[in-house]
Structure 1
Amino acid sequence: MPAAPTWDPAQYLRHAGHRARPFTDLLARVPDLPGDPPRIADLGCGPGNATALIAARWPTARITGYDNAPEMLTRAREHAGPTPGGGRIGFAHADVRTWTPDAPCDLIVSNATLQWVPGHAGRFAEWIACLAPGGTLAFQVPGNFGAPSHRLMRDLAASPRWRDRLAGVLRHDDAVLTPEAYLARLTALGCAADVWETTYVHLLQGEDPVLDWVMGTGLRPVLDALAAEPGAREEFLAEYGAALREAYPAGPYGTPFPFRRVFAVARKEG
């Protein structure tokens, strides 16, 4: 299994507005929670900016954001403490592959994290068992692994110039399931499930904006693999950036960047 990537919170947050939109849409579809105040776990909280959106949706909630990246947790803790609605946000180190709560949750939510967890659907039964009656498991994952941004990355990594350094670094086919497969898994566990997909067309600004975007997320394993070779790293970025400029040409108002995402909201029987 590839090692967990090293994260750069500042790079990730360069497109924070666009990245937060799917999470806002996910939270809007979560039904009423049974707890008062609700207890919420945010799996893969990253730099904490999305965790703060949970407090806006449930002002009295007791929210804990979990992540295994020290860089992200350091940034996330800027959002820790009491919330204006009387709730509280905290953060803790945890590995999503093994995490279970120490008390029943009203909501377990995850934003663009599970694609990094091989076999994550195998954890659904345990997480749903940890929900309070009437609680919800909700997540969204990128569904764009066939898009030029990812296909070009994989093709370049597999080319003769790079394959010795980058073999096995990038995942694809098993990163996420289809919407139909998620629906089947969740309904088989006795949940009332709502699964859908949305393609956002982000209008990005700046020079090489698609490269700038993926440097905060999908390209992290490549950047890690080439970290000890700065010259090679810059060579890869130059070649990949040129391919991205051709695949995503700039328009008069910015660079359109279509991005498909898959959403699931599964409510446990009360």
Structure 2
Amino acid sequence: MWNPDTYLAFADHRGRPFYDLMARIGAQAPRRVVDLGCGPGNLTATLPQRWPSAVIEAWDSSSEMVAAARERGVDAGVADVREWSPQPDTDVVLSNATLQWVPEHPDLLTRWAAALTPGSWLAFQVPGNFEAPSHEAVRRLAARGPWRELLQDLPFRVGKVVDTPSGYAELLTGAGCTVDAWETTYIHELTGEHPVLDWITGTALRPVKSRLTDERWLDFRAELIPLLDEAYPARPDGRTFFPFRRVFVAAQVG
């Protein structure tokens, strides 16, 4: 389960890549714009400002996120992106921080590119931080002591979860697209007692939390805190710098 409130605790930071991606989409007056993985809808709700004449189509696999999106006035539905196909009038498909959850997403990208009409746009952003100290700390803790048995079958993602910008460029150029691909490392300036823990609680730690009782979850947090504090020490003024790499692609179908 996704918790929209936890996810939105860093809404401003999480929203920056969405707007950076949007800036590279050259569609002028698209008929239909699709947001795959719309989350709580706070970003989807801004799409009519960019494209006021477009039909906005939004999907997410989490019923909790879809409910939050609908509360914001977004016409969202529950669906797995693996089962989605574009309607004939789809001119823009965008996905923000979703495809990293789908191991076969390269196949989906080539399938969508083939189904879209020439001139359409396919744009997405995925985190590229799976080897970051935050994720490594979670994997180290989960592999030791009593946590090994409780969490042994969780799919802690390592290795090639997402591709490089050049890898995606090769993939979609081969699918007949003109591709703009790049990566950015954001240095998020966070505040609070344990801000990195709070950040990953809304994303990477969801599978861990879902597996543990409330009491054991608090124990796991308590053991994780010093590992994260060591990796991301707070400055004397209370701020913590949290580097976060992301990979972007804005492709136009040829």
Normalising to structure 2: TM-score of the pair?
0.95
Is residue 27 from structure 1 mapped to residue 7 from structure 2 by the alignment? no
What is the SS of the residue equivalent to 1:246?
Answer: helix
Percent identity of equivalent pairs: 51
Which deviates the most, 216-225 or 173-182? Answer: 173-182
CA distance in 1, matches of 2:67, 2:121: 28
Aligned twin of 1:250: 234
Distance 1:172 1:53, change over 3 A: farther
Aligned twin of 1:195: 181
Q: Which 5+ residue runs of structure 1 have no aligned equivalent?
A: 1-5, 81-88
Contact residue 30 and residue 92 of structure 2 kept, 8 A: no
CA distance in 1, matches of 2:132, 2:30: 41
Normalising to structure 1: TM-score of the pair?
0.89
What is the SS of the residue equivalent to 1:265?
Answer: strand
CA distance in 1, matches of 2:37, 2:16: 16
CA distance in 2, matches of 1:123, 1:8: 26
Superposed CA deviations along residues 124-144 of structure 1, whole A, max 9, x for unmatched, are 122112323200100000001
Q: Which 5+ residue runs of structure 2 have no aligned equivalent?
A: none
Which deviates the most, 173-182 or 18-27? Answer: 173-182
What is the SS of the residue equivalent to 1:133?
Answer: coil
Is residue 156 from structure 1 mapped to residue 141 from structure 2 by the alignment? yes
What is the SS of the residue equivalent to 1:92?
Answer: strand
Aligned twin of 2:164: 178
Deviation at 1:158, TM superposition (A): 1.7
User: What does 1:190-229 correspond to in 2, within 5 Å?
Assistant: 190-226=176-212, 229=213
CA distance in 1, matches of 2:152, 2:81: 25
What is the SS of the residue equivalent to 2:176?
Answer: coil
What is the SS of the residue equivalent to 2:82?
Answer: coil
CA distance in 2, matches of 1:178, 1:166: 29
Aligned twin of 2:90: 105
CA distance in 2, matches of 1:198, 1:58: 26
User: What does 1:1-270 correspond to in 2, within 5 Å?
Assistant: 6-33=1-28, 36-80=29-73, 89-169=74-154, 170-226=156-212, 229-251=213-235, 252-269=237-254
Question: CA RMSD for the aligned pairs?
Answer: 1.4
Moved beyond 4 Å, runs of 4+:
none
Superposed CA deviations along residues 34-84 of structure 1, whole A, max 9, x for unmatched, are xx452011000000011123222222221111011110000000232xxxx
Superposed CA deviations along residues 172-209 of structure 1, whole A, max 9, x for unmatched, are 22421122211111111010001100000011111100
Deviation at 1:121, TM superposition (A): 0.6
Deviation at 1:253, TM superposition (A): 4.9
